[in-house]
Structure 1
């Protein structure tokens, strides 16, 4: 397995595109781009959340991409003490769907709170099909 790839970005709107390109290029260099569309969209959502809700003056966010035996993991760390919660949106809302997309596109996700502040939002994307069960 390749070593995890990590890059830090300033808390600025243009960093969302840079984070997406970083993850995309990392997966391509590893030959693990089968789920690149899902990873790309989730990185965009998590980086946007980090810039919009997780920013602290003078501190940015970090993206880590890790290859495992059967999955690709992404992590976005931000320094904010603000807790992460999925929003309840209506069809008229133009924001608030990022964590719902993360749940729909990744195989699992979660949040690790750091003491005293900050958090890591992570998600896993399986890269090999699940074994089929034999018929009864």
Structure 2
């Protein structure tokens, strides 16, 4: 996991939405992301991006929920990559980077993020927020992502 956040190059496309920290809003984040990516013509990364948004949004509403504090989902296309960001109000609760024990009932979601994303990490602030981000290269050439 990359602990640093790079400055985004000038973006060609950007979408941002603020949502209440509920399971319904996490599902809505996924639906909105899918529709936006279709509008942008990014069918090649649509499935992986939908899974990433679903996991990051679900984590925000499950592990970082604070009454009266929304979470924000952002999509950027810049520098040949799609960047997905989910910011929440719990900067004090960073994601686990270690594999959970086999008997654990949760904690496997970020394994999916690590497998699907080309890069991912966590950025602090501004206080009290944190942003968990994942990037997908738009010119993906790895066979495990369906490209020959």
Work out whether the TM-score is over 0.5. yes
> Hey, what's the Cα distance between the residues in 1 that align with 2:140 and 2:110?
24
Q: Secondary structure at the match of 2:44?
A: coil
Structure 2's unaligned 5+ residue stretches are 1-10, 142-148
Cα deviation 1:22-57 (Å, max 9, x = unaligned):
110111000012111111111111111100111111
Task: Tell me the equivalent position of 2:21.
Answer: 11
Task: Tell me the equivalent position of 2:128.
Answer: 117
Task: Tell me the equivalent position of 1:33.
Answer: 43
| Structure 1 residue 87, shift from structure 2 partner | 4.6
Structure 1's unaligned 5+ residue stretches are 131-136
Task: Tell me the equivalent position of 1:58.
Answer: 68
The aligned length equals 130
Q: Secondary structure at the match of 1:125?
A: strand
The structure having more radius of gyration, on CA atoms, is 1
Larger deviation: 78-87 or 6-15? 78-87
**Using a 3 Å threshold, how does the CA distance of structure 1 residues 12 and 87 change in structure 2: closer, same or farther?**
farther
**Using a 3 Å threshold, how does the CA distance of structure 1 residues 74 and 99 change in structure 2: closer, same or farther?**
same
Task: Tell me the equivalent position of 2:53.
Answer: 43
Alignment of 1:98-117 (within 5 A): 98-117=109-128
CA contact (8 A) 1:87 1:97 kept: no
TM-score, normalization: structure 1? 0.87
TM-score, normalization: structure 2? 0.81
* Structure 1 segments (4+ residues) deviating >4 Å: none
Larger deviation: 79-88 or 8-17? 79-88
RMSD (Å) for aligned C-alpha atoms: 1.6
